[in-house]
Amino acid sequence: GARQQTVLCNESLMLEKLPACGKSFEEMMKKVDSKKWCNLTEFIMYYDNFTQCTEREANNASCFWPNPLAEGFITGIHKQFFSNCSSEKVHWEDPPDEILITLILIPVMLTCAMITLVVWCSKRSDIL
């Protein structure tokens, strides 16, 4: 029968090549004002190139992507460039009571009106 050859991941080759991706990303990020580093639309193409580079280098080293070593490298890049970015949590509040009561009562009243109309129409079958 045919034997399947297993190719082992060359982690040291991958770790040797990944910094070139980081260096390239760093050079591209120099074009972006550091105040805009938290706005993904400002550098999405650079980040996409960085991601493709890390994937390519992992694959060239016969490693799957993402893998723990590549993820560790990517996390390091994130810490370097995006550590000051925080996701702003939206603080949800209930609407004022007047609006809340209105939003609750309208569907309740419509439901009651529809039930009344159906019952009334079913008793007046002589019209239909």
Q: What is the pLDDT of residues 109-121, one digit of tens each?
A: 999 999 999 998 8
Closest CA to 47 of 17, 82, 72: 82
Of 94 and 80, the one with more pLDDT:
80
**Domain ranges in the chain?**
11-82, 95-127
Compute the distance between CA of residue 77 and CA of residue 19 in angstroms, rounded to an integer. Answer: 10
Does the pLDDT of residue 20 top 90, yes or no?
A: yes
Residue 121, Cα to own-chain centre: how many angstroms?
Answer: 52
Does the pLDDT of residue 83 top 90, yes or no?
A: no
Domain 11-82 sits in CATH at 1.10.150.510
Compute the distance between CA of residue 50 and CA of residue 41 in angstroms, rounded to an integer. Answer: 15
Write down the pTM of the prediction: 0.62
Q: What is the DSSP string of 15-40?
A: HHHHHHHHHHHHHHHTTS-GGGTT-G
Q: What is the mean pLDDT of residues 72-81?
A: 94
Helix then strand count (H, E) for the chain reads 4, 0
Does the pLDDT of residue 23 top 50, yes or no?
A: yes
Q: Is 93 exposed, middle or buried (0-12, 13-18, 19+ CB in 10 A)?
A: exposed
Using only C-alpha atoms, the chain has a radius of gyration, in whole angstroms, of 30
